[in-house]
């Protein structure tokens, strides 16, 4: 499964980069991000190629929205993974249409206005829980948050302070954890016949792997930090996965991730 391979490679590379000394902190920061993003994007590309060929990847055609109207359900055809496909394509160009639709449905990469509201709500809720965890673990808010040294407004600052944590990381990580891992696990569990367990298992695996990725470079001897970061990222991962599963799209999860990170990054930039 590309998702599992991408996750393992990303973790190994991230641990290797973290244990290596770099003369330039900006370069180290960039390499740290690339160690995670590149394997994830490769895994997504491989899965997309599988969908285009109509191979194993076509099984990722679910899940769709958790709740559908009777009218919508009446005009849909249930697929093997518990999601929904539109009515069968007509003859003449049907294969091409299905291929394009399958590649697009692989990640459910779409967003609607309601996703902005859901995303902001989930991100705010998760950050509130994370702040409470920081108070319990460290006695104050922001101890495990972002910190910036002397500000130098250049390309490195733009990447490290804004682009990476507020745009690129939320986009890439949600594509992987909620667009590929969530749907892949859901499809596999459903294929085994455990339909009623597909949603909770998929949400759990997506949340756990997301939290694990954020823990691999933390000193295990620092118990307080491990607990605070682990629980905070786990709760966010579970909430984002549940949101993606409920809506059938990852747009809301991306907005939630931007909100979750932004509520740490922005105060740090403002010196709050």
Q: What is the DSSP letter of 180?
A: I
How far apart (Å, rounded) are the C-alpha atoms in residues 9 and 51?
A: 22
SS3 208: helix
Closest CA to 271 of 161, 110, 108: 161
Read off the pLDDT of each residue in 171-197 and give the average, rounded to a whole number: 94
Q: How confident is the model at residue 81 (pLDDT cuts 50, 70, 90)?
A: very low
Confidence of residue 128 (pLDDT cuts 50, 70, 90): very high
How confident is the model over 173-198, as a mean pLDDT?
94
Q: What pLDDT is recorded for position 140?
A: 79
Confidence band, pLDDT 50/70/90 cuts, at residue 154: confident
- Residues 6 or more apart whose CB falls under 8 angstroms from that of 165 comprise 146, 261, 265
Q: Is the pLDDT of residue 30 over 90?
A: yes
E strands, the chain, in order = 77-78, 84-85
Q: Which residue has the higher pLDDT, 83 or 126?
A: 126
Q: What is the pLDDT of residue 98?
A: 45
The conformation of residue 48, written as its DSSP 8-state character, comes to: H
Q: According to the model, what pLDDT value does residue 16 have?
A: 92
Residues pairing with 78 in the sheet: 84
Going by pLDDT thresholds of 50, 70 and 90, the confidence category of residue 257 is very high
β-bridge partners, 85: 77
Q: What is the pLDDT of residue 63?
A: 57
Q: Predicted confidence band at 47 (pLDDT cuts at 50, 70, 90)?
A: confident
Q: What are the pLDDT digits (tens) for 224-251?
A: 999 999 999 999 999 999 999 999 999 9
Name the residue with higher pLDDT: 26 or 58: 26
Q: What is the pTM of this model?
A: 0.81
């Amino acid at each position: 499964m590309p998702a599992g391979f991408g996750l393992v490679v990303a973790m190994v590379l991230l641990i290797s980069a973290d244990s290596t000394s770099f003369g330039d902190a900006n370069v180290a920061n960039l390499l740290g991000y690339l160690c995670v993003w590149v394997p994830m994007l490769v895994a997504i590309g491989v899965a997309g190629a599988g969908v285009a060929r109509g191979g194993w990847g076509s099984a990722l055609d679910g899940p769709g929205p958790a709740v559908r109207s009777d009218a919508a359900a009446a005009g849909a055809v249930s697929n093997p993974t518990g999601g929904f496909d539109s009515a069968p394509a007509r003859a003449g160009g049907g294969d091409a249409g299905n291929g394009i639709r399958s590649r697009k449905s692989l990640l459910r990469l779409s967003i609607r206005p309601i996703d902005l509201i859901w995303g902001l709500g989930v991100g705010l809720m998760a950050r509130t829980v994370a702040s409470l965890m920081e108070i319990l673990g460290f006695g104050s808010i922001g101890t495990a948050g972002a910190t910036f040294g002397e500000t130098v407004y250049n390309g490195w600052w733009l990447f490290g302070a804004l682009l990476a944590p507020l745009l690129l990381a939320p986009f890439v990580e949600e594509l992987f954890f909620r667009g590929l891992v969530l749907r892949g696990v859901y499809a596999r569990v459903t294929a085994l016949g455990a339909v009623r367990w597909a949603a909770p298992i998929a949400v759990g695996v997506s949340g756990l792997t997301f939290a694990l990725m954020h823990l691999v470079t933390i000193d295990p001897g620092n118990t307080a930090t491990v607990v605070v970061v682990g629980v905070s990222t786990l709760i966010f991962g579970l909430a984002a996965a549940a949101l993606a599963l409920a809506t059938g799209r990852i747009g809301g999860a991306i907005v939630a991730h931007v909100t979750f990170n932004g509520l740490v990054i922005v105060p740090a930039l403002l010196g709050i």
